[in-house]
Amino acid sequence: MSRQQAIKFLGDQGFIIIFVVWCVILALATDSFATSGNAFTILRQASIIGVMAIAAHLIILLGDIDLSAAAVMSLCGVLMAGLIVRNELHPIAAALLVLGAGALIGVANGLIITWIGINAIITTLGTASILGGLAFIYTGGKTIYGDPIDRIEFLARGRLFDTIPVSVIIMFVLYILAFLMLRYTTYGAHIFATGNNKKASWLAGIKVDRVKVQSFVLAGILAAFAGIMQVARQGTATAGMGADFLFPVITAVVLGGASLQGGRGKILNTLIAAIFLTTIANGMILLGVSIYAQRIVSGAMLILALSLDRLRTVRV
């Protein structure tokens, strides 16, 4: 194997090698890691990060980054809880309104980026600040809770055949749909083309602005759905409930092989990376590592993800 091939292999598959080694270490060091119960726990814990990572994957394929996803999750989560607890709406009606709100936020992000021409990072950073403020205003800085939230509990805690978590099924179904969309639809092909070369795509007749807006709409809907799932998991909603999700989500996408330059990435690798990151946290808990050390590892994983992205684009 040549040096160039070795670097390319490490860039594309390095995190999977680390994942396998980490699992072997945990299986040898603990008695509870290599069990079916813990495997389902890891998958259930990865479900929300996994759903949000689909949204981040779409945006990164375009060569952009969405920094508002966690804020969308938080605002839509508190809206969901507020609508069913304070306004006594049926959960289905509330969910449709919340998903619609996520879509509108996506439209706003997409139009600001394409029509006004503001950089995606700046746009979504500003959007995140606005949405965070709205979430705190809506909640008054208080936790929203109540018995009506139990009606959506099955999204996070329900199990099919008393074995497979419903949240895990939802995550895998969404990834299958995302895979099929990116692999076999015209829209998916346009995402890759736009990320590879926006000008050439435009000259080829692709409506690149429309593709971007559509992608941000999908990202908003997925982030809103993740907010609903998080409310179902916690049984409560707070204005800052999505704050800890942004970096793990972006890390999962880049670690999975999506290039920050756009136009390259495998959605199933993003799923594996999301599970990997959750496995790291799960393993450190089993090993008794402090929460402060876990934050250090999270930062190190982000650096590793960016380093692997650099290896994928290096020219030897």
Q: Pairing state of beta strands 144-145 and 236-237?
A: antiparallel
More confident residue, 297 or 60: 60
How high is the pLDDT of residue 108?
A: 96
Whether residue 89 has pLDDT greater than 90: yes
Question: Residues 153-159: contacts with CB within 8 Å, 24+ apart?
Answer: 153/232, 153/235, 154/232, 155/228, 155/229, 155/232, 155/233, 156/44, 156/47, 156/229, 156/230, 156/232, 156/233, 157/232, 157/233
How high is the pLDDT of residue 31?
A: 83
pTM for the model stands at 0.90
Whether residue 128 has pLDDT greater than 60: yes
Question: Rounded to an integer, what distance in angstroms lies between the CA atom of residue 306 and that of residue 222?
Answer: 24
How high is the pLDDT of residue 6?
A: 61
Confidence of residue 315 (pLDDT cuts 50, 70, 90): very low
Question: Rounded to an integer, what distance in angstroms lies between the CA atom of residue 141 and that of residue 147?
Answer: 20
Question: What average pLDDT does range 266-271 have in this prediction?
Answer: 91
Confidence of residue 220 (pLDDT cuts 50, 70, 90): very high
- Contact (Cβ atoms closer than 8 angstroms) between residue 263 and residue 188: no
Cα separation of the two ends of the chain: 14
Whether residue 316 has pLDDT greater than 60: no
Instruction: Give a three-class secondary structure readout of 45-70.
Output: HHHHHHHHHHHHHHHHHCCCCCCCHH
Give phi and psi for 120, each to the nearest 5: -60, -40
Q: What's the token pair of residue 206? A: 């692709």
How high is the pLDDT of residue 277?
A: 85
Question: What average pLDDT does range 100-121 have in this prediction?
Answer: 95
User: How distant is the alpha carbon of residue 52 from its chain centre?
Assistant: 2
How high is the pLDDT of residue 20?
A: 83
Confidence of residue 312 (pLDDT cuts 50, 70, 90): low
Helix (H) or strand (E) holding 222: helix 208-234
Question: What average pLDDT does range 241-265 have in this prediction?
Answer: 84
Q: Tell me the angle at which helices 166-184 and 208-234 cross, rounded to the nearest 10 degrees.
A: 170
Q: Pairing state of beta strands 164-165 and 159-160?
A: antiparallel
Confidence of residue 157 (pLDDT cuts 50, 70, 90): confident
How high is the pLDDT of residue 3?
A: 63
How high is the pLDDT of residue 282?
A: 85
Whether residue 5 has pLDDT greater than 80: no
Give phi and psi for 146, each to the nearest 5: 160, 160
- Contact (Cβ atoms closer than 8 angstroms) between residue 269 and residue 254: no
Question: What average pLDDT does range 167-191 have in this prediction?
Answer: 95
How high is the pLDDT of residue 164?
A: 85
